[in-house]
Structure 1
């Protein structure tokens, strides 16, 4: 009976996690499960306060394929210990630590003891601003001892105390948090291997021809002096798909243009400028990535 009740509590908690944070699978660990989740939304600030013990959350390629990959989870550890893994990296977080998890790649979060943490959803364009390649330091611990980590924690908590923040104020707070963390992200960002440098060159090639209708894997491979198969493998090693990367890059650039576009500028024209010849496809793809239509996105920034 007790085991059945624990399973039911876990299933309810996991369902809440999926609604708030996107698709996750989970499992109970030995020791007696506890789990709760509180959502906090103030315009651009979207986060969840997660408390749990003796559980594991994970995302396989199946969950990733069913979710919106336009986000990063910035995890602020408050109490207890959590072990986060992504790719070849593992971060063991304690109170005050921070780490980054990419929503577009599989990951695992282990809670072997009572834990409390905040998961802040950060739009991909804020994390990837001013960079094209190299591995971001996902699932790497940013220590609570670092001054910028302390300031980021403080700014997050102060923002949470003000649920009446308007759209401009909440966006400014979110950008400030990421600006504080960005030097550490860039410091660990430089590509080292020959393959990383090759990927950087290919991404530069994509950026310089992003508006072209002819931007396809076959053309990219030819220009980069490699086979199409090698191109696919190089992207797959980073958890990326060439065509999806191109589409997402175009959408991110459209979003950047929409943030400064006038109310009279035609949405179809903005999409066309960045390689979307079909407005209906552009609008659908944009909403899937950012959660709102291009028109609504522009209104929010105005």
Structure 2
């Protein structure tokens, strides 16, 4: 079967599954990819509906609803696991990258525009309950990336999304309590974003350095990771960030590279990743130039990547 026809069939099946799990959406394939990639499945954890979505579709859109259907019951709390996407609602645009969390109102029209292959987990929260906790605030926005509330949401969403763990969870009363907790945390994360504070405005220099290193760990797969990226996320100047690392006789860029190289080395030792090529692993951890990666790896480990894999696996 020609690739174009096969992709068309797969897209139709994915679109059908998306509607079944998430409601009435219109979708379009991307003209940037010759092959469509997509999967979606729903999960019920103590009455909470969860959607796992992976796709390289070009556009996912939801038109204005009548306000009286099943599709209007929810707000979507979205955890971006991989890739980048843009969400538009109420004349606002937010950009989501790995580890970002956003709240989207299901009762208003919005568009999601994936930038290549994306993967996310969406928790369906009662729109009525979200409206009560957020009062007059709009039900759309990106949460402060480094607030305590957002970190807790990530942990909760990933725990709920783990199929093996969720099998042992309790009944629907637990689901209601979890929903209330996530709505409260989302409200706190949106408040911190609205106040222009990343959630640690009054911490000391050692704490900012610690937050920077943790942000590096969480963003190693993001090709945009850089000193400028860190400074923007941490709400400090690039020069100030350089100074914090220099005080510890470190370079930010070198620190990022070393952490990426260590992740690559760990994967090259892993027997269950033997099917992945060295280039795939390097690109997974944020390297974009295979020759540059090979030189940096050999300097760090005194072995070329291929020799390292053969020797240590």
Give the superposition deviation at 1:97.
0.6
Structure 2 equivalent of residue 90 of structure 1: 93
Give the superposition deviation at 1:4.
1.5
Match of 1:45 among 17, 24, 48: 48
What SS does the corresponding residue of 1:82 show, helix, strand or coil?
strand
Counterpart-to-counterpart distance in 1, 2:134 and 2:158 = 28
Q: Decide whether the 8 Å contact of 2:78 with 2:103 is kept in 1.
A: yes
> Can you list the C-alpha shifts for 1:239-258, whole angstroms capped at 9, x where unaligned?
xxxxxxxxxxxxxxxxxxxx
- TM superposition score normalised by structure 2: 0.55
Give the superposition deviation at 1:121.
0.5
Task: Summarize the Cα distance change of 1:145–1:125 in structure 2 as closer, same or farther, 3 Å threshold.
Answer: same
Match of 2:118 among 97, 106, 115: 115
Counterpart-to-counterpart distance in 2, 1:19 and 1:65 = 18
Matched, 1:162 2:166: yes
Q: Decide whether the 8 Å contact of 1:99 with 1:141 is kept in 2.
A: yes
Give the superposition deviation at 1:49.
0.7
Matched, 1:102 2:105: yes
> Can you list the C-alpha shifts for 1:121-173, whole angstroms capped at 9, x where unaligned?
0001221124543433x1x3224322211111101222332233211112212
Structure 2 equivalent of residue 289 of structure 1: none
Give the superposition deviation at 1:63.
8.7
Structure 2 equivalent of residue 277 of structure 1: none
Give the superposition deviation at 1:80.
0.8
Structure 1 equivalent of residue 62 of structure 2: 59
Counterpart-to-counterpart distance in 1, 2:178 and 2:193 = 24
Counterpart-to-counterpart distance in 2, 1:185 and 1:142 = 5
Counterpart-to-counterpart distance in 1, 2:172 and 2:27 = 34
Match of 1:133 among 136, 141, 148: 136
Gaps of 5+ in 2: 196-313
Task: Summarize the Cα distance change of 1:16–1:63 in structure 2 as closer, same or farther, 3 Å threshold.
Answer: farther
Matched, 1:185 2:190: yes
Counterpart-to-counterpart distance in 1, 2:70 and 2:11 = 21
Q: Decide whether the 8 Å contact of 2:11 with 2:29 is kept in 1.
A: yes
Aligned-residue RMSD, C-alpha: 2.3
Counterpart-to-counterpart distance in 2, 1:98 and 1:147 = 13
Counterpart-to-counterpart distance in 2, 1:69 and 1:187 = 27
